[in-house]
Amino acid sequence: MAWIYLLLAGLFECGWAIGLKYTEGFSKPVASLLTIFAMAVSFWLLSIAMKTIPIGTAYAIWTGIGAVGVAILGMFLFDESRDMLRILCLLLIVCGIIGLKVVSSSVA
């Protein structure tokens, strides 16, 4: 169950990171409230996951999900670069996330 909490925490991290763009410096009240809510949920879920998953593994996976998710969303929502080298780098992050999960399976 801790891994599900960690996955959800990573998805909420994507939500608040993208939300920051829409807050326009926290000048948009609705976007700001939604972003702060996503931040709180993300941190809360991460803290629950860290009860079982080692902190280094949990934090690395959480940030990895956020980094990859936000980069992919940026490509679609904000027309950011879809260069093959950039996509290859994102795939390397995904490989690292999978690797951490595999070597941590015996722990949680």
pLDDT digits (tens, 9 = 90+) for 1-59: 999 999 999 999 999 999 999 999 999 999 999 999 999 999 999 999 999 999 999 99
Band of residue 104 on the pLDDT scale cut at 50, 70, 90: confident
Decide if pLDDT at 87 tops 90: yes
**Contact 61/6 with Cβ under 8 angstroms?**
yes
Phi, psi of 54 (to 5 degrees): -55, 145
d(CA 49, CA 12): 14
Q: Minimal CA–CA distance to 18: which of 89, 88, 80?
A: 80
Band of residue 105 on the pLDDT scale cut at 50, 70, 90: low
Boundaries of domain holding 12: 2-104
Decide if pLDDT at 108 tops 80: no
Residue 64: CB atoms within 10 A of its CB come to 20
Band of residue 101 on the pLDDT scale cut at 50, 70, 90: confident
Band of residue 73 on the pLDDT scale cut at 50, 70, 90: very high
∠ at Cα 2 (31, 91), nearest 5°? 70
Amino acid at 10: G
Provide the pLDDT for residue 59: 95
Amino acid at 37: F
d(CA 11, CA 6): 9
Mean pLDDT of 80-90: 96
Tally of structural domains, the chain: 1
